Amino acid sequence: MIIKPKVRGFICTNAHPQGCAAHVREQIDFIKAKGPIAGGPKNVLVIGCSTGYGLASRITAAFGSQAKTVGVAFEKAPTDRKTGSAGYYNTAAFHAAAEAEGLFAASVNGDAFSDEIKDKTLALVKQHLGKVDLVVYSLASPRRTDPKTGIMHSSVLKPIGEGYTAKNLNTDTLKISDITVEPANEEEIANTVKVMGGEDWELWIDALQQADLLADNCRTVAYTYLGEKLTWPIYGHATIGKAKEDLDRASRAINERLAAKQGQANVSVLKALVTQSSSAIPIMPLYISLVYKVMKEEGTHEGCIEQLYRLFTEGLYTDQPRLDDSNRLRMDNLELTPETQAKIEALWPQVTEENLFDITDYKGYNDDFLKLFGFGLKGVDYDAETDPMVPAPFVD
Ligand code: NAD
């Protein structure tokens, strides 16, 4: 088939296998060019390993530190008539590259919130890694079924307390108009915490600890975004922000449990970037387009892989980690400098449909969005007949 992007709203419903492979290759090349990461991990579990920050974590561990990796993701396999999901192709490309360098990699496809997938993953870890020295928790999901009650909880992206009206870019029509988001009720807040809070991170660590699969001095990290004034009403001070606060609680609880092993848990604050998850958050596409514009002009622009390289070298594996007073590793420092935020805040009210491509870097945003699905990569022939099938990267 000829594979061209099929974009519907903030998602792209197909993906290009060779394009995704080229995107993974770009990230591997970036990490290899940086050279080995001193003191990096050797046996790594990445929960949410197939796209965005989780994929970049896995690539950094494997190609920066020669780590064996086990990954968990929730992805769609291709058929003769329909492409697989980007994360499926990314995982296939990651496996091929790891195998070519003699690096062990195994991946599980399924619901990471379930006991069944935890058991399956732990069995793989036990068989191939022994004990893990790094556990990355990088899930972004709109819903979670609690394994104990069987109840499915759905998260919402809503403000807390009062409604919020703000400028929003419709990425389908490129129209800019105000959107109003009504405040969440208590049940919606609780459900969002249930899905995106720290409970499942704790369950993973408990399961690994009970199976004696955590190495002494092991590290574990979960990702969050804090942002500043412009994004607080929809992120930091909203339902998702409440869920992310719960990660801080979970981090403290995990630290107590890991104390005997000298293990350490941290939340890491990463910068706002286009991923399959962030593109779904109101306001974010416009905000990120401005972040791109300002940070590219400043020479401080970073993608997922640059952020992860810094997390390993300036956060996890250094004697002088950049920690805040809540024990969080801060990799969002460049986005949140007062100068950068002031420039973004000054541009924000000026953006119109007419000047979108001048005042903001919407083009850069959109190019990166398409790259997430393997489109727009150099060296890929998008007019060529392409087989959607690739060797299955996941264990049965
Ligand atoms: P993403 O959508 O690119 O990745 C999500 C990953 O989770 C994928 O590998 C997907 O397969 C996996 N996944 C989702 N549901 C699953 C399930 N039920 N079982 C197994 N796997 C599942 O998202 P991302 O933006 O990389 O987000 C990862 C983390 O980083 C999130 O916690 C997010 O809040 C955080 N973060 C994102 C940004 C940003 O701007 N994108 C900034 C800071 C922090």
Residue 58's SS3 state is helix
Please give the domain boundaries of the chain with CATH numbers for all domains: 7-371 (3.40.50.720)
C-alpha span between 93 and 26 (Å, rounded): 11
Beta bridge partners of 394: 107
Tens digit of pLDDT at every position of the chain (396 positions):
999 999 988 899 999 999 999 999 999 999 999 999 999 999 999 999 999 999 999 999 999 999 999 999 999 999 999 999 999 999 999 999 999 999 999 999 999 999 999 999 999 999 999 999 999 999 999 999 999 999 999 999 999 999 999 899 999 899 999 989 999 999 999 999 999 999 999 999 999 999 999 999 999 999 999 999 999 988 999 999 999 999 999 999 999 999 999 999 999 999 999 998 888 888 899 999 999 999 999 999 999 999 999 999 999 999 999 999 999 999 999 999 999 999 999 999 999 999 999 999 999 999 999 999 999 999 999 999 999 999 999 998
DSSP labels for 312-378?
A: IIIIISSSS--B-TTS-EE--TTTT-HHHHHHHHHHGGG--TTTHHHHS-HHHHHHHHHHTTT-S-T
Q: Which of 100, 76, 244, 63 is nearest to 160 (CA)?
A: 244
Is 223 assigned a catalytic role?
no
C-alpha span between 133 and 152 (Å, rounded): 32
Mode of pairing for the β-strands spanning 143-145 and 152-154 = antiparallel
Find the 55 Cα to ligand 1 centroid distance in Å.
9
Q: For 275, how many CA atoms within 13 A lie in the half-sphere containing its CB?
A: 23
Find the 350 Cα to ligand 1 centroid distance in Å.
31
C-alpha span between 214 and 89 (Å, rounded): 30
| Residue whose CA lies nearest to ligand 1 atom number 6 | 48
Binding residue per annotation — 292?
no
pLDDT at 280: 84
Binding residue per annotation — 112?
yes
pLDDT at 277: 86
Q: Which of 192, 210, 181, 198 is nearest to 119 (CA)?
A: 210
| Residue whose CA lies nearest to ligand 1 atom number 18 | 111
Stated as kind and residue range, the H or E segment containing 190 is helix 186-196
Binding residue per annotation — 273?
yes
Q: How much is the pTM?
A: 0.98
Under a CB-based contact definition with an 8 Å cutoff, are residues 42 and 67 in contact?
Answer: yes
| Residue that is written with structure tokens 């400043």 in the block | 298
**Ligand 1 lining (C-beta closer than 6 Å):** 48-54, 72-75, 87, 111-113, 138-141, 223-225, 270, 272-273, 275-278
Q: What is the biggest distance separating any 2 CA atoms in the chain, rounded to whole angstroms?
A: 59
Give the number of other Cβ atoms within 10 Å of residue 260's Cβ.
Answer: 9
Tokens of 246: 């719960």
